[in-house]
Every structure is written in structure tokens, then in C-alpha cells.
Amino acid sequence: MMSTVRTTSSAQWRGEMRLRGRRLSWAGCWAGLLGLLSLFCLPCFAAGQEFAKASKVEAAFLRNFARYVTWPSHAFADDSSPWNICILGRDPFGEVLEKTLKGRTEQGRTFEIFRAEALDKLPSCQIVFVAYKEGAKRRAALAEFKNRPVLTVGDAPGFLQGGGIIRFQVQDHVEISVNLDQARSVSLKIQTKMLEVTHEVLENGVVRKQR
């Protein structure tokens, strides 16, 4: 009985190898992306579930910024001082932030939460979520933080261009944007692991997309 031998031309072989390479590349990209996003301890979602409410995701990010950003030592009163997370303006979180931070520590520090409508009513903060909807009030607040080692966070359009350090958008997915110019000017170091999942970066006055 004659056996049938399948022959493959060199062109076909190269095509198959390219296809396999693309499959492996995409698999690697997805695995890497999921691994990096897990660094931020985002809520887990089963297939078909709706994305969690934006406030829950944003609260999780605020907690994890304390892990992936490095502050200068003078940003704290002493080695045991807590992380002061402050909300400036109308609070979008409610009790979600307390639930997210309850019993948590980061780098040996506990978390405390402060809320105020005016900047002069807040204590010294390491992280400030600027919740002002009015552009003029938001820009004025960011100007006050310009020379302070404070991580300013918000979700308004143009937040980085106004001097904010981190902007995130939560819809059906999460996008983080980082103002490296402002972070560096106040001696805040954004870790590489965080930058790897950043959507866009403002550096040297130019915004560039990364993902």
C-alpha cells in the first residue's frame, strides 16, 4: 500500500510559522496585560458580568497608588504617619472608600480619609482626588499643589494639562494617564510596573499614547 505524504512548499511553511508566531504573540500580550492589571487588585468579573461601578474601581486604584508611587520622606510627618487620602470637592465615593481601605495597610502605614469643599479645610495629604466639576476651581486647586509632594488624581478631561498627575477613566475598561513632568517636579516616582499599564503619558510637555 502506498502511503500518502503531504508536502508543504517553503512559502506555505513560512506562512504557517508566521500565523503560529502571531498566535503566540497575542497570547503573550494578553497574559502580560492581565498580569499587570492584577497588580492594582482590581475587582474580578465573571464572563458576562457588567463592569463594577466606577467608584469601586477608582477607590481600588487610590489604594494601590500608595504601592506603585514613591513619595519623598518629607511628605510624611514620621515613619508611622498614615496615608492621608483626601477628597476635594463633592465626594463621588461615599462609603465605598471606607470599605475599600478598612483594615488595609501599605508599606506599614494605615489609611485615613478626609473630605472638604475647600483646600484650606484639608490636612496635609499624600493623595488628593480633585472632584471639582468646574474647570476654574479645578485648575486653581491644581495650581496650589504645583510645588507640593502630593499625588493629584482626577477623571476630568484635560486633567493632566491642568497640572494633575494621574487621570483615570472607568467605563467598560480602565484607562490611566500620567503626567510625568508634574510627578517629577515634586519628587514623586511612578514605578515602571504602573507605567506599563498606562494608556498615555505627558512627558516633556508632550502627550504620547502607550496602549
Q: Is 168:45 a contact under the CB 8 Å cutoff?
A: no
| Inter-CA distances, 95 with 103, 130, 164, Å | 14, 17, 25
Band the pLDDT of 173: cuts 50, 70, 90: confident
Nearest to 109 by CA among 82, 78, 76: 82
Query: Domain-by-domain residue ranges, the chain?
Result: 9-38, 54-209
DSSP H or E run through 135: helix 135-144
Distance from CA of residue 10 to its chain's centroid?
47
pLDDT of residue 27: 37
54-209 maps to CATH 3.40.50.2300:
yes
Separation between Cα atoms, residue 6 and residue 91, nearest integer Å: 68
Whole-number mean pLDDT of the chain? 81
pLDDT > 80? residue 36: no
Q: Sign of torsion, CA 94 99 102 105?
A: negative
pLDDT > 60? residue 30: no
Separation between Cα atoms, residue 19 and residue 140, nearest integer Å: 53
Query: 1-5, 57-61, 96-100, 115-119: lowest mean pLDDT where?
Result: 1-5
